[in-house]
Amino acid sequence: MPAHAATSAKPPAGASALVAPLRPRGRPRKTLLERDDGNRRTDLLRAAAALFRSQGFAATTTRDIAAAAGMQSGSPFYHFKSKDALLFAVMHEGMHSALARQRDSLQAQQGQSAMSQLRALVQTHFQVLLGPDSDFVPVMLYEARSLNAAQRSELSALQAEYEALWIPVLTDLHTSGALRAPVGLARLLLLGALNWSVQWFDPRKSATVADLTDAAMALFVGHSAAST
Amino acid sequence: MPAHAATSAKPPAGASALVAPLRPRGRPRKTLLERDDGNRRTDLLRAAAALFRSQGFAATTTRDIAAAAGMQSGSPFYHFKSKDALLFAVMHEGMHSALARQRDSLQAQQGQSAMSQLRALVQTHFQVLLGPDSDFVPVMLYEARSLNAAQRSELSALQAEYEALWIPVLTDLHTSGALRAPVGLARLLLLGALNWSVQWFDPRKSATVADLTDAAMALFVGHSAAST
DNA sequence: CCTACCGATCGGTAGG
DNA sequence: CCTACCGATCGGTAGG
């Protein structure tokens, strides 16, 4: 990513242009009467997520993030108390969004078989990890050790919610014989297989998320897309 | 790990104590006529592997490593040209050792079924990741992005050798119908499931490496330990 | 949110 | 391998 991202830093002035800015202090921007603090914060989050994913948390400087969001070096600290707080916000956003998407996904599976529900969970998980705007959850997965204890425990609550969505489905499949391994270890191994895709998946190559979902279902429960 | 490791820094003088040290320069140690450079280098490698694994490469300082090996802050650079070179050496050692162990493991499987061979590969892989002296390969797996291009390509050759051990076994199992997913994706998903165990495995808890192997075999090829 | 800046830390080196 | 050190970088802040 280039050191300047002027385009995203200056959205065209639209309906939200106000005469009296609400910003606490600082001078007005050249071309805009108002900045949307929420958008600037989001810009920072997105830039941080992308950099944390590609370089890792410790190897990314707050200056990198500021530059990617089109700001000066000290400005991220206007939006976030510390670099740690930025990391936490990225992860929290990632888990929150992933949970919401999986809940929607399961909702659409009302009355369907456990096999079909597992397929939905797997596919949505791949999309969360590999699809558009997919930097947040991989950061959560691969940078957990950079959090302090308090942050980690807050996030682990969300993680527990996420894993809880899988358990009844896996239990059902284990009871029916489709899933051979004990549910607890099966969940850890299965999610590991999916999470590792972050390391090797390349959208420029042949496989699609649908291909991965088919392969994972075949591997874990011996079923392809056809069988519901 | 404490900041001082005087014990490991001063092995008892044994048969290798020479009157004329071969070291290029520097003053003699109080209690020893000779230091074993090979051991000191190994101490550094081990300390680096442990710290890189637990904290990550970028978050580990060369001072941390020096202290863990009982040295002063500048001393690691007597053994390694740079922090990068230390990382590369850790990874290279890890891959070399893992390759050797898997080759031995397969050798002992001569004439056995593909199922039995896969079990051996899986169990040895878990041991390499989770057993004694298991810091090297996890560093390789989780810090690859910290390498430069030249280092990465040298290691990817070893990685390719490692993966090549799995392919005929998986192909055999796919042909016989025991493995349902295409071999290429099956290998990536399967190794991902195993590699992720680094994130959650806790030897203080119930599961053993043998338990994990059983669960993995049941999950991937629907077979428990009994079936050969 | 920018400017200007600080104190601490870090990888690495000379010289013995 | 230690001592003493350097230059660069980094997270973070005051003040507007």
In chain B, residues with a C-beta closer than 8 Å to the C-beta of A57 are 56, 58-59
Q: Does an H or E element contain B124, and which?
A: helix B114-130
Q: Considering the entire predicted model, what is its pTM?
A: 0.85
- Which stretches of chain A are DSSP H helices? 6-9, 37-55, 62-68, 76-79, 83-107, 114-130, 136-142, 149-176, 183-195, 197-200, 209-221
| Residue range A195-199: mean pLDDT, rounded | 98
Supply the pLDDT for residue A37.
62
A87-112 pLDDT, tens digit each: 999 999 999 999 999 999 999 999 99
Whether A146 and chain B come into contact, CB under 8 Å, resolves to yes
Per-residue confidence band for B37, with pLDDT thresholds at 50, 70 and 90 = low
Q: How many CB atoms are closer than 10 A to CB A14?
A: 8
R_g of chain A computed on alpha carbons: 21
Check A193 against B189: CB less than 8 A apart. Answer: yes
How much of chain B is in helix, strand and coil states, percent to nearest 5?
A: 65, 0, 35
Nucleotides of C under 7 A from a protein CB: 1-5, 9-16
B86-123 pLDDT, tens digit each: 999 999 999 999 999 999 999 999 999 999 999 999 99
Q: Which residues of B147-181 are buried (b: 16+ CB within 10 A; e: fewer)?
A: beeebeeebeebbeebeebbeebbebbbeeebbbb
Per-residue confidence band for B227, with pLDDT thresholds at 50, 70 and 90 = very low
B75 CA – D5 C1', rounded, Å: 14
Whether A179 and chain B come into contact, CB under 8 Å, resolves to yes
Largest CA distance in chain B: 67
Per-residue confidence band for B9, with pLDDT thresholds at 50, 70 and 90 = very low
d(CA A137, CA B135): 25
- Which residue's structure tokens are 């206007």? A78
Length of chain A measured in residues: 228
Whether A196 and chain B come into contact, CB under 8 Å, resolves to yes
For residue B108, the 8-state DSSP code is T
Q: How many CB atoms are closer than 10 A to CB B48?
A: 28
pLDDT of B63 over the 90 cut = yes
The domain ranges of chain B are: 41-227
- The residue that leads in pLDDT, B225 or A19, is B225
pLDDT of A46 over the 80 cut = yes
Per-residue confidence band for B127, with pLDDT thresholds at 50, 70 and 90 = very high
- Residue B225 and residue B212 in contact, taking contact as beta carbons nearer than 8 Å: no
d(CA B110, CA B105): 10
A157-170 pLDDT, tens digit each: 999 999 999 999 99
d(CA A79, CA A100): 25
pLDDT of B12 over the 50 cut = no
d(CA B150, CA B35): 33
In chain B, residues with a C-beta closer than 8 Å to the C-beta of A156 are none
**Dihedral of CA A118/A124/A129/A135: which sign?**
negative
Nucleotides of D under 7 A from a protein CB: 1-5, 9-16
Q: Tell if A79 CB is < 7 Å from nucleic strand C.
A: yes
pLDDT of A20 over the 70 cut = no
Supply the pLDDT for residue A32.
36
In chain A, residues with a C-beta closer than 8 Å to the C-beta of B181 are 214-216, 218-219
| Residue range A7-11: mean pLDDT, rounded | 34
Whether B16 and chain A come into contact, CB under 8 Å, resolves to no
Check A55 against B145: CB less than 8 A apart. Answer: yes
Among A56, A185, A197, whose Cβ lies nearest the Cβ of B212?
A185
What percent of chain A stands above pLDDT 90? 80
Per-residue confidence band for A206, with pLDDT thresholds at 50, 70 and 90 = confident
- Residue B219 and residue B113 in contact, taking contact as beta carbons nearer than 8 Å: no
Q: Tell if B76 CB is < 7 Å from nucleic strand D.
A: no
pLDDT of B52 over the 80 cut = yes
Supply the pLDDT for residue A208.
97
A48-83 pLDDT, tens digit each: 999 999 999 999 999 999 999 999 999 999 999 999
pLDDT of B166 over the 70 cut = yes
Supply the pLDDT for residue B206.
76
Q: Which residues from the 110-139 window of protein chain A have CB within 7 angstroms of nucleic acid chain C?
A: none
| Residue range A132-156: mean pLDDT, rounded | 96
The CATH number fitting domain A41-227, selected from 3.40.50.10490, 1.10.10.10, 1.10.357.10, 3.40.50.300? 1.10.357.10
d(CA A130, CA B176): 32
Q: Tell if A168 CB is < 7 Å from nucleic strand D.
A: no
